[in-house]
Amino acid sequence: MSDTVVSPLSTPILCFNPANRKKNKLHSIQTKIEKTVDMDVFPKEILGESQAQYNAVVNALLILTKHHNFCKGILDEYIETALTESDAILVLEDYKKNKKRIVGMCAITFRKDHLYVDLICSNQKVKGVGSLLLELVEVLSNTLSLEHMKLSSVTDAVPFYLKKKFECDKLCHMTRKVTKKRGVTLPGGVKKTKIRNTMRQLPAK
């Protein structure tokens, strides 16, 4: 049975991979996002060694994916590779009985003209999380003036992405043109510094 969640969302977490920092110009990307979008961005200098922070996030998510409600139909080896080799990981949390819980995540890579989603997973019992993650990815794409969002889909998820205006080729490579917007608006019409106090309902199936 699916949850209908009415709870304040935590600020989305975006953790950059220090191993890719120089190769993909992540420092400038991270700086721009920190200044523009209200996300809790890691690594943070105050917390110590940056690679250790990223590894801690990866390890926590790998443990989470062992739960059958996350990443259904995706091989463990692919999940681990995506999390360890992507440029950044976006994590979405909400509150359940006054406790934070992770309800969704995606691993992303910043390309020259598009943002590539290497992995997207959500708690299968919480409806609406996948849509919200895609909205957040589009916010990042807009912030960086990228033209497209791209990903490779498992067969079962293709109908979902088609509903979200992605186009599909024969190999299930999905592409969606980014909708250009003035300024940065987080999902639900919330301006950049307002998401912490926002109530949002994730709809039931």
Q: What is the mean pLDDT of residues 175-193?
A: 57
In the prediction, which pLDDT does 24 show? 63
Determine whether 127 is exposed, middle or buried from the number of CB atoms within 10 Å of its CB (0-12, 13-18, 19+).
Answer: middle
Residue predicted with more confidence, 117 or 202: 117
In the prediction, which pLDDT does 196 show? 36
Look at residue 134 and tell me whether its pLDDT is greater than 50. Answer: yes
Residue of 200, 185, 204, 130 whose CA lies nearest to 163: 130
Domain segments of the chain as ranges: 7-202
Q: Name the average pLDDT for the chain.
A: 81
Q: Select the CATH number that applies to the domain covering 7-202 from these four: 3.30.2040.10, 3.40.630.30, 3.40.50.2300, 3.10.270.10.
A: 3.40.630.30
Confidence of residue 201 (pLDDT cuts 50, 70, 90): very low
In the prediction, which pLDDT does 161 show? 82
CB 133 within 8 A of CB 120: yes
Look at residue 61 and tell me whether its pLDDT is greater than 90. Answer: yes
Count Cβ neighbours within 10 Å for each residue of 23-54 and write b for 16 or more, e otherwise. ebebeebbeebeebbbbebbbeeeeeebeebb
Count CA atoms closer than 13 A to 40's CA, side-chain side.
Answer: 10
Q: Which helix (H) or strand (E) holds 194?
A: none
In the prediction, which pLDDT does 67 show? 74
Residue predicted with more confidence, 204 or 170: 170
Give the range among 39-48, 112-121, 140-149, 150-159 with minimum mean pLDDT. Answer: 150-159
Confidence of residue 199 (pLDDT cuts 50, 70, 90): very low
pTM, entire model: 0.82
Residue of 54, 12, 28 whose CA lies nearest to 138: 12
Q: What is the mean pLDDT of residues 18-42?
A: 88
In the prediction, which pLDDT does 139 show? 93
Contacts of range 32-35, beta carbons closer than 8 Å, 24 or more positions apart: 32/143, 32/144, 33/140, 33/143, 33/144
Give the integer Cα–Cα distance in Å for 115 and 89: 12
71-108 pLDDT, tens digit per residue, is: 888 889 999 999 999 999 999 988 777 788 899 999 99
Give the range among 5-19, 88-102, 169-183 with minimum mean pLDDT. Answer: 169-183
In the prediction, which pLDDT does 124 show? 81
Give the integer Cα–Cα distance in Å for 61 and 59: 5
